Amino acid sequence: MTRNLVVVLLLGGALMQQTCAAMVCPGEIWPDDHGKHVQAHGGDILKLGDTYYWFGEYRSQENVRGKRYVGCYASKDLVNWQFRNEVIKSDAPFGIGPRWVLERPKVFYNKKTKKFVMYMHLDGPTNPDGGGSGYALAQVGVATCDTVDGDYTFVHNFRPLGQESRDIGQFIDDDGSAYLIFESRPTKGFFIAKLSEDYLDVEKEVCFIRAPLEGGALVHYDGLYYLIGSYMTGWAPNANQYATASRLEGPWSKFKDIALPEAKTYGSQSSMLVKVVGSKKTSVIFMGDIWKPRTQWDSRYLWMPLEIGGGKLWLPEPKPWTIDIQTGETSIP
Ligand code: GAL
């Protein structure tokens, strides 16, 4: 390598580091306040007062084999994240066995019980000591805590509405009602289901959407519900899809591409849609995961403000961007 090229590369790296300290840089390492890459994959965002909490799969290289972890981070601006706690750091609960799976944790706050209630995709082989698929149980697990970032305690595990459930998504409507979205393979689609009053159970089917999709993410924007899902290609990216409805119960429109299909969602998979309601604008952020199946700890995030409105939704080409949390305005400098 020539000396000039080395200088250019070093300067480029330094510039990127500086840029990403003040902006969201899709696909890059996202350092927390300790300088470590955020471990909150397949995550969700919970807003309390003026603070955003980001929960997700904590897949650090230092994790102890057999244990599964959920990370919690806090931020006031969606850009700078402070590590709070490994809110779950556990061996297999409910006798599931060492080959267990904990994915896509989602935390709800129940105002009546004052409890934080976490749902997760909980899985493993049907026989705890046996072989076979590690995704055979197809359940949700529920864990609770008295504080947002404390140590969560497992409560129970079950198949919501008696159905197989794998990828889950979280949705809180403008009236505060809490819903779980879950993918059910035998019925070939998504369920949107209302949680019980204490949020500890999945109480009522609101809608079933027949579509071969998972990674369900939902937002209510300007009088319409927009639902995004990805095809079932495991860790490999595909062209994520969206549909709309004026009522959660449906009818839902046909599914359409959220970006040029050949871009395969820019290498990412849907996890969550976050609505930021500001004084000037309401922005909707697509939160996706760029999975690295062989080096999971290095999996990246693709967060981008969506172009959304009038029944249309589009994921623009990823570029570094900023958001003004007060006004809700986003910009790509
Ligand atoms: C994906 C799913 C991930 C994980 C993965 C395992 O389709 O969205 O959460 O379960 O499959 O292959």
Q: What is the DSSP string of 78-100?
A: SSS-EEEEEEEEESPSTT--TT-
Confidence bin at 11 (pLDDT 50/70/90): very low
pLDDT of residue 222 exceeding 70, the answer is yes
Among 19-28, 78-87, 171-180, the minimum mean pLDDT is found in 19-28
Confidence bin at 188 (pLDDT 50/70/90): very high
Q: Give residue 228's pLDDT.
A: 98
Which residues line the pocket of ligand 1, CB cutoff 6 A? Answer: 42, 103-104, 167, 214-215, 232, 234-235, 269
Q: How far is the CA of 233 from the centre of ligand 1 (A)?
A: 8
Q: How far is the CA of 234 from the centre of ligand 1 (A)?
A: 5
Average pLDDT over residues 70-88: 98
Closest C-alpha among 21, 59, 63 to residue 40: 59
Closest ligand 1 atom number to CA of residue 42: 9
Ligand 1, atom 12, lies closest to the CA of 234
pLDDT of residue 127 exceeding 90, the answer is no
Map out the domains of the chain with their CATH numbers.
24-331 (2.115.10.20)
Q: How far is the CA of 45 from the centre of ligand 1 (A)?
A: 19
Closest ligand 1 atom number to CA of residue 103: 9
pLDDT of residue 197 exceeding 50, the answer is yes
CA angle 95, 297, 287 (to 5 degrees): 95
Q: Give residue 252's pLDDT.
A: 98
pLDDT of residue 16 exceeding 80, the answer is no
Confidence bin at 278 (pLDDT 50/70/90): very high
Q: Give residue 225's pLDDT.
A: 98
Residue linked to tokens 């981008």: 304
Closest ligand 1 atom number to CA of residue 135: 10
